[in-house]
Amino acid sequence: MTSFDTHTPRVVEANLAVGGDGLDRANQRTSSAFTVLLSSVAVFLIALEITIISVALPEIEAAFPASSRATLSWIFTAYNVGVASLMLIAGWLAERDGRKRIFLAGMAVFCLGSIVTGLAPGVAVLIGGRVVQSVGGAMLLPASLALILHGVEAEKRDAAIGIWGAMAGLAAAVGPTLGALLVEAAGWRWVFLINVPIAVVALILGARLLNESRNPQAQRTADLIGPPIGAAGIAALVFAIVAAGVRGITAPAVVVSAAVGVVLLGVFVSRTHRHRSPIFPPGLARLRTYRVGAIGTLLFGAGFAGWLVLAPTFLVEVWGYSIVQAGFGVAPAPLAMAATAGPAGELCARFGYRWIVTIGASCSLLAALLWTLTVSESSGYASTFLPGAILFGIGVGIGFPMLTAASMSDVPPNSFAVGAAGNTTVRQVAMAIGISIAVSVVGTADATTGDVLAFRRSWLVCAVFFLATAVTIAVRYPDSSTIDLAENPGESP
């Protein structure tokens, strides 16, 4: 069972970068740089899959006209739910068997899933390929963050996490434009196949340049049933949200699915607290910084995904943009994310997470309100959509990576991979929920989405999520990352 020493996390972290491998300082800096680079490539690929597909959604709908938008939304949510179901298991495996090993295995599986998805002859295989991708993504995310947390000096860790987050912003920046160009030139299948050469290069370099590390105290056996049960509960809730938009909130299928989801999530929580070898240590949830950071990630992620996944659809269906025009139209938001994420890490290292993250969430809140109040069928892009997109990107560039850093700030080193898995699981759940709500609010293929009022309602929902994030972090996150020993007395979970 993993010990949970909460009294001296910073002292232990200071010695992590060396990791007992005898590297001198110069080699350490070089190794750290390669670790950040390759770990960020993994995040780039996973973020690219979200933004690049959002632009291709109209073309995928046209390729499979017999499938409703509610069905096709599972191209997004099957991936997110699949990642959520396996993330904690992958984090435990990374601690037990090696972070580098799990990282490389995840990259290979992700590459395979991209091939299957890109060559899919029908919607069922397309969604199935996304599930395979989700297995690789589940392995990549916690391992990549754990590699950074173990391979970068403590004083540079926030900046490294900012770069890690900035790569996600970069992927979001190039995703809409790249996706539009790929769809226009070669068809929607290439939004998946583009991952393959990047993954192959990352595999070759990662095998040569990454340093292996593992937790020798990691438990050898664990509860492998609990996380899939929790993921099934999440899937049931996501189905209820999507079905509610089509059938109504009181439809029997919606009520039953929601009830099943709540029961399954309750079973997961119960197993986590009662099982003698839980994959997720309950002690992590008793860390105030981890708990509040995870709640903020859940709220912020839902608002982020709800806007981003349907922004190209708005430009195409309401303003009549082409796919390429929509790609360029959305690009300023993720460009602002990429430009902001790195400096946000330096600001948090200087001023703390609480107010910097609150400012980021507030920027995104103002952007969503700006769109809700000013964007119309006849409004101008430069005067309404563009200012909000830039403001939104700044907020997300601050919020997403720094919420991760805030959540991980007091996690003990021997729980880095599992803690990262928990945080990224919350992020994937948040995105699945946010996408499902946005699709339900805006409408399906059976109902017109050319009405800007439907999109305004979805932006207002996003605004509520961002407001809740700002309030949660401002009120509940501590001024410093000092562990509240009253809430977490230091017992081993």
DSSP states of 203-247: HHHHHHHPPP---TTS-SS--SSHHHHHHHHHHHHHHHHHHHHHH
pLDDT for residue 483? 39
Residues in Cβ contact with 123 at an 8 Å cutoff, skipping those fewer than 6 apart: 64, 67, 71, 72
Q: Are residues 289 and 267 in the same domain?
A: no
Contacts of 306 (CB under 8 A, 6+ apart): 434, 435, 437, 438, 458, 461, 462, 465
Answer yes or no: is 216 within a domain. no
381 vs 65: which has the higher pLDDT: 381
Residue 33: Cβ-neighbour burial (10 angstroms; 0-12, 13-18, 19+) = middle
- 166 lies in the same domain as 291: yes
Q: For residues 291 and 344, state if they share a domain.
A: yes
Residues 245 and 326 placed together within one structural domain of the fold: no
Check if the beta carbon of residue 224 is closer than 8 Å to that of residue 90.
no
Residue 139 and residue 13: Cα distance in Å, rounded? 23
Find out whether 455 and 309 touch, Cβ atoms under 8 Å: no
High-pLDDT (> 70) share of the chain, %: 85
* Of 11 and 448, more confident: 448
Residue 486 lies in a domain: no
Please tell me the least confidently modeled range out of 53-67, 192-206, 275-289: 53-67
DSSP structural state of residue 381: I
Q: Measure the CA–CA gap between 43 and 52, rounded to whole angstroms.
A: 14
Note whether residue 286 is domain-resident: yes
- Alpha-carbon gap, residue 151 to 348, rounded angstroms: 20
Total tally of structural domains belonging to the chain? 2
Write down which residue in 278, 296, 315 finishes a domain.
278
Question: What domain range includes position 259?
Answer: 223-278
- For residue 39, tell me if it sits in a domain: yes
In the predicted model, is pLDDT for residue 13 greater than 60? no
Average pLDDT over residues 46-59: 74
Q: Is 461 left (phi over 0), alpha (psi -120 to 50) or beta?
A: alpha
Identify whether residues 284 and 271 lie together within a single domain.
no
Q: pLDDT at position 465, please?
A: 95
Say if residues 171 and 396 touch (Cβ distance below 8 Å): no
The pLDDT of residue 358 is 95
* Stronger pLDDT, 220 or 121, i.e. the higher one: 121
303 and 376 assigned to the same domain: yes
Residue 23 has pLDDT above 50, yes or no: no
Token representation of residue 37? 């680079």
Q: What's the pLDDT at 448?
A: 44
How much is the pLDDT for 9? Answer: 36
- How far is Cα of residue 392 from the mean position of the Cα atoms in its chain? 17
Please tell me whether residues 141 and 231 are part of one structural domain.
no
Shared-domain flag, residues 85 and 120: yes
Q: How confident is the model at residue 342 (pLDDT cuts 50, 70, 90)?
A: confident
pLDDT at 28: 59
Same-domain check for residues 176 and 165: yes
Say if residue 103 is in the same domain as residue 160.
yes
4 in any annotated domain: no
Q: Which of 74-83, 184-193, 194-203, 219-228 has the highest mean pLDDT?
A: 194-203
CA nearest to 87, candidates 275, 268, 334: 268
The predicted structure's pLDDT at residue 12? 35
| pLDDT tens digit sequence for 146-158 | 888 776 777 677 7
Residue 193: inside a domain: yes
* Same-domain status, 272 and 146: no
Torsion angles phi and psi, residue 156, rounded to 5: -105, 5
Residues 84 and 169 in one domain: yes
User: What CATH code is carried by the domain that includes residue 130?
Assistant: 1.20.1250.20
Q: Is residue 3 domain-resident? A: no
- Using pLDDT thresholds of 50, 70 and 90, give the confidence band for residue 473: very high
For residue 62, what is the enclosing H or E element? helix 25-63
> What's residue 140's pLDDT?
87
Q: Is 124 inside any structural domain?
A: yes
